[in-house]
Structure 1
């Protein structure tokens, strides 16, 4: 298959950082991967899987062979007493897929509307919003081993989902007992298709202040799935910058989890801290509030800045298609400065969400 050389990546990452791939191949099917692995020129070369580019920070040109995932397709593939199973190709746009499920009369993903990226990247990050995470709706996925060319299927347990985490973000894996026992599949697997179990009967997932406000405005306590979808889109549009207009990778830091003792200590020093109790007794703190409390909202390092409307989002203050924007180095310098400030004030080390390349 055709492998392009010296490919610009500014339009293929949502931060719109200027960088190039030394080589790039467009992957539209399992056969494309097998063709590459059969080619002596590329079989043993390091590889980097690229989806929608919405969760990466490029700090320079990419030397490994970039595999741009463009596997398409959306279909209902089965049904059980408790769920309808739908499948989507890894290259499908996530938000468009969510909208499609609703158009088919199949609710369940609406709380995760407008999350940028592709379907294939969703399980890698275990995306989530407004009380629903991907793992809550996940059924299984098909992937291909980038070393052997063998296709395999993983269920939720094998994906080892955690908060913004999965087996695909960790290195080192093994194949045991005739099947994959993944310790880590980072740089080892390319996701081809993902299946979701959409619940029957459906009921809305509520409990977030932004959604509560929308319910009050519309005088209802039982919104439809379409209403939830529309409200989530409205809230996200109001709070988060459009990557097509302002380069960004969405929420840059994970919300940290602390013990009850830590939470009590922080509340004692900063009573206005935003926190949420978790089922296991721990507490999740709002990383955006912590960053804002340290005075970072609107600040910049070079052309990298903290978004004025939401301190959790780092942005590229340059144009999305010009050479004047932030470098990956500036983004990471800003991120590290924020980490230092938050740690010095609250004793908490914020963990970045995006993958740094």
Structure 2
């Protein structure tokens, strides 16, 4: 196959990677047909959503299938709104749509880029809330047979930026819809950032939405202007003894106690290493938020970003003894590759 098409418009890093073909699937039947055709031709396939959490480390030697399944259905009972959302719907646009209908519960997750179908894979989260808190189920399809299965919240095995979809449903499956359950008894989460300045007695869902949007736009670059994939690294979770040692040496080190340890702020660790603005090739650390790597001036290659991420990981480990792991998925010539291995 000699065809070659640009992926630049389909990844928020804006990298000039290429693929053999790009197909757009608007329903589950098209999704299966395109995948089966590629499988018959023995070509690698990549199911792509909004392209907001992927790094093409090189050209993709196969067929990219864009999952554009749309649709929003809302039902309710006395306690909950139940929202069935197609995988191809934009996540932020969904929150705006629900707010217009006075349906609340997703405000803390505003302006997270990408589509709904990608949200369960990473168990997206921000400002004290994660997808697992509102996800009732995820519908997946086996692409070779067209068989659809529904995974409950528990079956999704959600963890911090983790889920079963990262481990057991990477090949031959695709998410086609997500079911959300939103309580009619709205309880604001105001523990992070400027949200703590809001009054628990008077705050409204739209106040939370507005505050989250303001915080994100003030420190995160717009991917339509500057290529990026949002937070590049996970916030590391360390043993409490390591956290105590760091706190003793660095009293202002942000720390958040979790069930399985203490979460550190990866952006703070990177910033303390003096890496804001550091550049390798066309890739740079964002000046306002060290957790974000950018395609500066649109000139970066996938290799530039990999090299920059590796340098950051090395410097943070040298200073703090903490290993950073990418949150972004790395896509190589034949499909997804191990991101930690790529920058080690």
Q: Same fold (TM over 0.5)?
A: yes
What's the counterpart of residue 293 of structure 2?
Answer: 314
Q: Which residue of 1 aligns with 2:242?
A: 262
Instruction: Indicate if the aligned counterparts of 1:247 and 1:317 stay in contact, CA closer than 8 A.
Output: yes
**Pair 1:164-2:176 in alignment:** no
| 1:203-234 Cα shifts (integer Å, max 9, x gaps) | 21111132123x2xxx6643110111111001
1:6 positional shift: 2.0
Aligned partner of 2:64 among 63, 66, 70: 66
Q: CA, structure 1 residues 49+342, in 2 after alignment: closer, same or farther (shift >3 Å)? A: same
Contact map agreement 1:49 1:187 (CA 8 A) in 2: no
> Of 180, 204, 218, which residue of structure 2 is paired with 1:238?
218
Partner of 2:186: 202
Deviations 1:67-126 (A, max 9, x none): 1011111120x3344321011111111100011111111100011000000011111111
Hey, what does 2:95 align to over in structure 1?
98
Structure 1 unmatched ranges of 5 or more = 171-183, 320-324
1:356 is aligned to 2:340: no
Task: Tell me what 1:187 maps to.
Answer: 171
Residue 272 of structure 2 is aligned to residue 293 of structure 1 = yes
Is 1:249 the counterpart of 2:247? The answer is: no
Long gaps (5+) in structure 2: 332-344
Name the stretch that deviates more: 140-149 or 51-60: 140-149
CA contact (8 A) 1:25 1:68 kept: yes
The two structures have a TM-score, normalised by structure 2, of: 0.92
C-alpha distance in 1 between matches for 2:39 and 2:188: 51
C-alpha separation in 2, matches of 1:277 and 1:15: 32
Q: Secondary structure at the match of 2:111?
A: coil
Aligned match of 1:48: 46
| Residue 227 (structure 1) aligned with residue 170 (structure 2) | no
Instruction: Name the CA distance, whole Å, in 2 between partners of 1:167 and 1:121.
Output: 13
User: Is the 1:21–1:65 Cα contact (8 Å) retained in structure 2?
Assistant: yes
Q: 1:54: Cα distance to partner?
A: 0.3
Deviation string, structure 1 residues 9-32 (Cα, Å, up to 9, x no partner): 101100001011112211100110
Q: SS state of the match for residue 59, structure 2?
A: coil
13, 20, 23: which is aligned to 1:22? 20
| Aligned counterpart in structure 2 of residue 11 of structure 1, from 9, 12, 17 | 9
**Matching residue of 2:283:** 304
Displacement, 1:313?
A: 0.5
SS at 1:205's partner residue?
coil
Does the 8 Å CA contact 1:124/1:169 hold for their aligned counterparts? yes
After superposition, what is the alpha-carbon deviation per residue over 1:165-200, rounded to whole angstroms, capped at 9, x for unaligned? 111111xxxxxxxxxxxxx11123111111100112
**Taking structure 1 as reference, are residues 43 and 161 closer, same or farther at Cα in structure 2, changes over 3 Å only?**
farther
SS at match of 1:64: strand
* Conservation of the 8 A alpha-carbon contact between 1:304 and 1:317: yes
Rounded to whole Å, the distance in 2 between the matches of 1:260 and 1:40 is: 48
